[in-house]
Amino acid sequence: MKNVLEFFEHTVEKFPNKVGFTDENRCSTFSEAMEKSKKIGTSLLQYGNRKAVAILIDKNCNCIHSMLGTLYAGDFYIVVDVHSPKDRIINILSSLDEPIILTDNSSLQLAKEVSSNETIVVYEEAIETTVDIDGLDSVRSDMIDMDIAYILFTSGSTGMPKGTVISHRALISYINWVTEEFKFDENTSFGSQTPLYFSMSVTDFYSTVKCGCTYNIIPKKYFSFPLNLVNYLNEKKVNTIYWVPTAISILSNWKVFDVAKPEYLKTVLFAGEVMPTKQLNYWIKSLDDDITYANLFGPTETTDICTFYRVNREFADDESLPIGIHCDNCQVFIVKEDGTEAGVDEEGELYARTTFMAEGYYGNPEKTAEAFVQNPLNKYYPERVYKTGDIVKMNVKGEIIYISRKDFQIKRSGYRIELGEIEAGANSVDGVKGCACIFNKEDNCLALVYEGKSKDSDKVMDAVRNKVPSYMYPDKIIRVKELPKNANGKIDRNYLTKNYKEL
């Protein structure tokens, strides 16, 4: 197999009239999705192939058809957040080589405002195109599995977006693993939380494409009304979710399961940030015993993840979940600062060696060379691996334990401090809904920001004191009504670091 569309075509042949995708306003069967995708693909053929197609469409069925349509044209897509600042959209477009903008009538005005010389294709016009079967077949015959499927832009350290390039081969390899590991099939009904420009969306979306699942796009507003969210899950008979921990924690913090429970849920997956054990324990204790919970871990540069842990034992509220073991067809290893492999309970940086791996960063050979390197443990032949920037260790059970990001690890007064350890203590306090420990280098200030009751400050400090040595005590404990979130639904640590004085 050389093209991820082969998954899609097999699914359409097997389940043509099954509803594959739903949004707030409509449903799309697999055959309808294919028809519209091929029309969009045909409309893009006139511009050549292997082109960058920036999709400026909100998360809905139009966006899904456009993603698949771009692949039919032999191009690669970049889903752009239509709700992000215009300057960010312009930065993304300017970093691409003469991209085509694919938009719909709802976002057409935005597309015109952010475009300079880019060609604009409108969804509603493209789906009126007559399909050119010969043209689409010709493009497919020239493609190889190393061709780019899409680019995901993440925030770079310089403030400029950084585009991670994912090939069809990487995507196929990863989806083959995840669908087999979690036994997704046509009976799987996903409740999709993550944006389509975020790497986590790859798992539930392309598992649907491969296995004939149902991909239900949850309206974002329901995460502000948790009872409505549970009702939605039941209405759509959602049995599988893959959410960021912040979204999982919303239902825990409001103790929603004391009032209503998801009736069909069988698989709960989470990734993207550390899952607070206290909030996860609420799910485990409140819902059926036969639900699978798994902590998935990895960077965008390994398509979605590189390790995973099925929760198979009890954890105290102040304990951290392991990130587990490597995925199949994905080797991970831990390298110490001296360049040697770490032993049990020795800290080091996590590396990944896998066909899940990205090709690099679009138009950024310097950053690519820094992160995608020769395997430091292999001096005999070329072997490209990815440096994740994550500090981890292996426990005696053979499970990898996440410690922190390299950029979350600070040195202060000669001591190395892991911000995640401070957070683990604070998160264990009853009443704390979430927290983030940040370090402002300019002010030399270590601050712990938490969401909860004002009277919990002393309890939070006591919990931290019981968890970490004195040199790791925060200088400030700051309570906020609500922790700020970024576009992916994760805690916005950059905002907190810059603005902690004003909180």
Q: Domains in the chain and their CATH numbers? A: 30-166 (3.40.50.980), 330-403 (2.30.38.10), 413-502 (3.30.300.30)
Task: Classify residue 491 by its DSSP letter.
Answer: B
Sign of CA dihedral 280, 281, 283, 289: positive
Write the pLDDT tens digit of every residue in 10-36.
Answer: 999 999 999 999 999 999 999 999 999
- Per-residue pLDDT, averaged over 41-49, amounts to 96
Residue 158 scores a pLDDT above 60: no
Q: Which residue has the tokens 């349509």?
A: 69
Beta strands in 355-441 (DSSP E): 360-361, 372-374, 384-394, 400-405, 409-412, 415-418, 434-440
Q: What is the 3-state secondary structure (H, E, C) of 402-418?
A: EEEEHHHEEEECCEEEE
Residues of the chain above pLDDT 70, percent = 99
Task: Tell me the average pLDDT of the chain.
Answer: 95
Q: Which of 58-62, 272-276, 405-409, 437-441 has the highest mean pLDDT?
A: 58-62
Q: Which residue has the tokens 């922790």?
A: 483
Q: Give pLDDT tens digits for 80-118.
A: 999 988 988 999 999 998 999 999 999 999 999 999 888
pLDDT value for 161: 74
Tokens 């475009």 locate to: 115
- Closest of 501, 324, 310, 347 to residue 421, by C-alpha: 347
**Could you tell me which of 22, 2, 461, 475 has the C-alpha nearest to residue 233?**
22
Q: What pLDDT does residue 159 have?
A: 53
Nearest to 255 by CA among 226, 284, 221: 226
Cα 57 to Cα 63, 96, 379, 388, 489: the distances in Å are 6, 18, 47, 31, 19
The whole-number pLDDT of residue 292 equals: 98
Query: What digits encode the pLDDT tens for the residues 138-152?
Result: 999 999 999 999 999
pLDDT at 416: 76
Residue 319 confidence (pLDDT) above 70: yes
Q: In the Cβ-directed half-sphere of 429, how many Cα atoms lie within 13 Å?
A: 27
Tokens read off for 195:
């944006």
Q: Whole-prediction pTM value?
A: 0.89
Checking if the pLDDT of 1 tops 50, the result is yes
Alpha-carbon gap, residue 386 to 373, rounded angstroms: 6
Place of tokens 């899904």: 64
pLDDT digits (tens, 9 = 90+) for 381-414: 999 999 999 999 999 999 999 998 887 778 787 7
Distance CA 305, CA 327 (A): 8
DSSP SS3 for 460: helix
DSSP 8-class letter at 94: H
- Helix (H) or strand (E) run with residue 223 in it: none
Q: What does DSSP assign to residue 357?
A: -
Q: How far apart are the C-alpha atoms of 285 and 342, rounded to whole Å? A: 36
Position 157 confidence tier, pLDDT thresholds 50, 70, 90 = very low
Residue type, 487: A
What mean pLDDT do residues 359-370 have? 96
Contacts of 329 (CB under 8 A, 6+ apart): 173, 176, 177, 354, 355, 356
Average pLDDT of the residues in 309-328: 96
Amino acid letter for position 435? C
Torsion of CA 284, 287, 291, 293, to 10 degrees: -30
Higher-confidence position of 488 and 37: 37
pLDDT at 490: 87
Mean pLDDT computed over 233-262? 97
Q: Would you state the structure tokens that stand for residue 95, as one six-digit string? A: 């970093």
